[in-house]
Structure 1
Amino acid sequence: MLNCNISSFEVLSVVLFSALTFGSTGAVLAQNAAHQSHERAQLVASGAATGVQHAPAPGAAGNSALTAFQRADANRDGQLSAEEARQLPAVSQRFEEMDADGNGQLSLAEFNKGVQKAP
């Protein structure tokens, strides 16, 4: 028969090793979940996850106009309200003129058209 003399040091070593293994696995899973959450937040911010797509404006100034529009669009609905447009003083001053359809919102197309007409 086998002699089962296991020292307490060996038992504690196995328990410690197991705890470290499970703890490390939990940390990796938590990091992965946090990374996925961060990626989702970036998609939402860019409009990709919500279905709102911002078409880039033509020309070199188009990228800066698109960036300004996206920053001002606080609720990420693809429209600028008069309140959101206040972040852009030049747009805020001409908001009613730029709002071609008179719905109280600036679409990206209205925004781009108004920016191109800027004095």
Structure 2
Amino acid sequence: MKAIQRRTFAFDARSVMLFTALSLGGAAALQAQTAPAAAPKAQGGPSYGPATSSPNPTAPAATGTSAAAAFDRADANADGKLSADEAATLPAIGNRFEQLDTDRDGSLSRTEFDKGAKS
């Protein structure tokens, strides 16, 4: 009786798995890219590189708006203050809760939160 020899394709399977992992990783990296900040200029054609006229004046307001939205999302009981548990939902704030609580009342006011979000 002749022994049946099994052939394994470990190299081929590993190559396919490696290619798949690299492809999916590349696709995820492309998805993580942000959209350009400004649309191309209407009259002069597309603009490449940083703006030369003036910086975007709405950038600080957008930061304040996103901080306010984050505060509102984290304030689960809508009392206008963040407790330590509520702040823990925002790791950047929760990790520095004691440092940001300047009046030591055990909660972060919107003013304390805004100062922490800017720093």
Give the TM-score, by structure 1 length: 0.49
Larger Rg: 1 or 2?
1
Give the TM-score, by structure 2 length: 0.49
Structure with the larger strand share: 1
